[in-house]
Structure 1
């Protein structure tokens, strides 16, 4: 960076200069410094002294040209510029140079781009050399002030550049974290959709399989029951299609009307639907019901649906009870059957219990499943803390 492009109030110019090759910028700066320091030579000559001495032109050019390499070797460029500038007074009949811009820019570059020891050493070298070479105390003081100002501006530019770099790194880190969080959110959403689709399809297919197996058995002996079985198959299929269409519609961007997902109030209908398979399902509620978050309502329905699905598929039961118990701080959901069982109501490798546990854990709840302690059959018990299910999304 050069002196102009590093100043914050030259932001538009800085953006343009950053697009240029650094060598071009430094060459233009060297030419500008050369023109500025040749300015005093355009003044009128001292009467009777003749034209300005050629030595002055040589020194001015020699102090400006090294600025082309100021980024590559800032300390060397500063030393060359100061030493050559100190030789300016070796010849007579030369105009006074009010400001040696080359030395100031070289010191600025050292302050902005060098480590601490070299830049402090060069600041002392610049100020000390000015005190030794300049005879007038006023001129020496002015030179020291100029050197210190150039050094301070260089350090401010370095601090601004470091701050900008830190902001860029922070923005990059935040963007990376945002992208990671978005990917995690997408993974969680895919897992949720997979659980919902598993629950919907497993429940519907289980009911359809049970009815399809029972239909041929009773088609001759009990045509009415066979007809009811086929009606149950069609009803389960239609219900699955409606729920899948609702779920897939939620993934689309079009803002069309969408039906709400099933909630706790639909558990009675769920029990009636499963009763059509020949399994006697009862549904009861005790305690004072409370409004839950929409996610908690859907989770309660899906967990009950999955538990019933496993009763139909694996328990060989004739009866199942769905019980909701509203306590002061907890909602208890239990699904109990009188089936034969084999130590676990969920087959090895299945996703049913995993899905129920994940849904309950999302609201700080827990799940237990196993043989009934009071007789044959199995019990799935879900505990949902109302503090999380009514006030905060998982």
Structure 2
């Protein structure tokens, strides 16, 4: 039993769940009333009687099931209509029931069944009008000409052609809906990954600074209260900054399509990173001049430096790091080095951090290389296009 193709969420489409009451009632009234008027212009046909009206009613009411049983309805309407014509009753809108049944079957994907049903009607009608008319009512009826049968055949082909056009258009709509749904899911996945990267970079950096300063404050609480106070001040500033950036990320979730309330961080905030790293006991030397980049590339470069310095603080025994900016044609080479040694098995950073840096670079058409240096320590090398347009 056909119930229509499922929607993207697996639910049945509304067309399959509803009975087409209104359209069937209107069509039934049109067939009964229209045939009554058509009979007045066909005096040589058998006059309408209760049996004729029952056949008209059956052919019309069958259309109630056209969405649930399209094949059965297509053959049913064709058979009842053929019986009606074989009985010699007047031509009229009863042929419309066959057209609707065929249309529903083709749109539902049962093309051969639809063609067979209208082919059955045409073949039966040709057999009646060219041969069996001698024995069937009305009495004295004459056979149809070849031209008349060609007209009927053309009518049948027109029904099939319109049904095929509707089927093709419906399939196009279904593909377009699927493409739109897939694009929406892809955009949602990309936005989810972007937010995950932002939260990871913000929280990992700030919590690393807080962790280092908290340990320092505890160690110096009794012996050097002023230094412990400075550590607590750094913790307060780092936590405030982290909360601000987390709120900014969360605001993008609450206000769909709205612009962020604060500008995204970029390399102009590099001195802040250096100060935070210094508060955590890491001396950072900047080599080269940070370039002016489009917003997307500027944010990616800032987050890559932030994550790399965070990894040095967390996973390296070195208290010195270098950030070098260099241009190679249309590409920016951003290199972050530390001298090591590593202080844990996950030297160089967590898998999420490195994965986030690679995703940021790949989104801009760049690359990330990260790994131990031959002479010791760890290196993160990012190559980012520096010629991107402002809208990229």
CA distance in 1, matches of 2:384, 2:390: 13
Indicate if the aligned counterparts of 1:204 and 1:240 stay in contact, CA closer than 8 A. Answer: yes
In our comparison, the structure showing a higher alpha carbon Rg is 1
TM-score (norm 2): 0.72
* C-alpha contact (below 8 Å) 1:372/1:379 kept by paired residues: yes
Indicate the larger mover: 302-311 or 108-117.
108-117
Distance (whole Å) between structure 1 residues aligned to residue 218 and residue 97 of structure 2: 95
2:380 is the alignment partner of 1:377: no
Pair 1:173-2:163 in alignment = no
Structure 2 gap ranges (5+): 1-18, 63-72, 103-113, 136-141
Aligned counterpart, 1:363: 364
Aligned residues: 340
* Structure 1 residues 153 and 298: alpha-carbon distance in aligned structure 2, compared to 1, 3 A threshold: same
How far 1:246 sits from its partner (Å)? 1.9
CA-to-partner distance for each residue in 1:326-378, whole Å, 9 max, x for gaps? 2212111111112212676335x6421121122112222222222223x3321
Task: Write the deviation string for residues 149-183 of structure 1: whole angstroms up to 9, x where unpaired.
Answer: 45434433443333334333432332233223323
Partner of 1:281: 284
In structure 1, the partner of 2:35 is 33
- 1:264 matched residue in structure 2: 267
Contact 2:122 2:153 in 1 (8 A): no
Alpha-carbon distance, 1:18 to partner: 5.2
Give yes or no for the alignment of 1:101 onto 2:91: yes
Equivalents in 2 of 1:108, 1:237: separation in Å?
73
Contact 1:126 1:147 in 2 (8 A): no
Could you tell me whether the CA contact under 8 Å between 2:267 and 2:301 is conserved in 1? yes
Match of 2:324 in 1: 323
CA positional deviation for 1:391: 6.9
Residue 221 (structure 2) pairs with residue 232 (structure 1): no
What residue number does 2:14 align with?
none
Contact 1:75 1:110 in 2 (8 A): no
Report the equivalent of 2:106: none
SS at match of 1:262: coil
**What's the C-alpha RMSD, in Å, of the aligned pairs?**
3.8
Normalising by structure 1, what TM-score?
0.72
Inter-CA distance 111–317: structure 2 relative to 1 (3 Å threshold): closer
Which whole-Å CA distance do the structure 2 matches of 1:163 and 1:66 have between them? 30
1:125 lines up with 2:127 in the alignment:
yes
The answer on whether the counterparts of 2:85 and 2:91 sit within 8 Å (CA) in structure 1 is no
- 1:95-244 aligned within 5 A: 100-102=90-92, 105-106=94-95, 109=98, 113=102, 114-116=114-116, 117-122=119-124, 124-125=126-127, 128-129=130-131, 148-219=150-221, 222-244=224-246
Please state whether the residue corresponding to 2:211 is helix, strand or coil.
Answer: helix
- Name the CA distance, whole Å, in 2 between partners of 1:236 and 1:312: 15
Consecutive unaligned residues in structure 1, runs of 5 or more: 1-16, 42-51, 89-99, 134-138
In the alignment, is the contact (CA less than 8 A) between 1:316 and 1:340 conserved in 2?
yes
